[in-house]
Amino acid sequence: MKNTMKTFVFLALLTILFVFFGNLIGGKSGATIALVMAGIMNFIAYFFSDKIVLATSGAVPVSREEDPELHAIVDEVARSAGIPKPKVYMIPVDVPNAFATGRNPENGVVAVTAGIRRLLSREELKGVIAHEIAHIKNRDVLISTIAATIVGAISYLAQMAQWSLFWGGFERDDDRDSFNPLALIGLIVGIIVIPLAATLIQLAISRSREFIADETGARLIRNPLALASALEKLEVWNRAYPFDVNPAKAQMFIVNPLSGKSFLKLFSTHPPIEERVARLRALASELGGRKF
């Protein structure tokens, strides 16, 4: 519940930033244009994200005959979650990781790497699958798209302002007077600071949704320690052998595939593994301390 509230607070903050920046830059018309442009791009991404991500990651469908155990786990967890069974895909790489995509539970997809199938035990793999199915159940693709739309609109506004300043200034539709020097300085600071603040909020939303998926998935299988153990193993591997993926897609994976590189916490798409594991162990105590 705490992390769910954080998500809505962060989305509200993004909206406030957008409205403030839109009025500062171009009044209502400028903000509307930016929001519409960002909305169109993210609407397309929302409806075709599963196909785009699967194609760019090299994932291929896995039949029940090819991997009956994996399908059985996905079946079991999906039933517990009360959603249709997601499609199952495999990424033919040795680095162990996994992600989920799909705009709603009816179009869900779970993809795992070949490496994760070799590394994890059945219970650990079940924990990972539960985490990914939790993303689908919680409609995190939709939440991420809303956040991306607002951040994209703010970025468009910043670009509009930069070009306007480059060409000698601009007028807002509700203010025909020229800016005074202090207002101009404030505008320049806003062009730099507000898009950065919006990006940081977007990353905070991503981290918050990871915590929620951890808890939701662990409760689905009533075995938080299995997921905690899997996260620890995956973190070790991904630090040693970072997965070469587009940074924009890194937030989709259960652990940061770029974690071999240095990131400040504020600029990370994922919470620290130590914190995720600590929360899962606390949840295990709450649920009776079940060992995996």
Both tokens assigned to 52: 């785009």
What distance in Å separates the CA atoms of residue 3 and residue 226, rounded to the nearest whole number? 22
**Interstrand relation of 87-91 and 98-101 (parallel, antiparallel or unpaired):** unpaired
CA 285 to chain centre: 28
| End-to-end Cα distance, the chain | 25
| pLDDT tens column, 28-47 | 666 677 677 767 766 776 67
The pTM score is 0.82
> Among residues 132, 287, 145, which one has the least CA distance to residue 224?
287
- Coil, strand or helix at 243: coil
Residue of 66, 76, 106, 132 marked catalytic: 132
How many angstroms separate the Cα of 151 from the Cα of each of 20, 125, 182, 199, 201?
13, 34, 26, 7, 9
| pLDDT tens column, 183-230 | 667 678 778 888 888 889 889 999 999 999 999 999 999 999 999 999
Question: Which are the contacts of 121, defined by CB distance < 8 A and separation ≥ 6?
Answer: 226, 292
Domain ranges of the chain: 2-286
Q: How confident is the model at residue 76 (pLDDT cuts 50, 70, 90)?
A: very high
Provide mean pLDDT across the span 12-28.
Answer: 72
Instruction: Mark whether 132 is an active-site residue.
Output: yes
Predicted pLDDT at 173: 47
How many angstroms separate the Cα of 204 from the Cα of each of 54, 77, 147, 243?
25, 27, 11, 22
What distance in Å separates the CA atoms of residue 89 and residue 95, rounded to the nearest whole number? 15
Provide mean pLDDT across the span 135-144.
Answer: 89
The DSSP letter of residue 251 is G
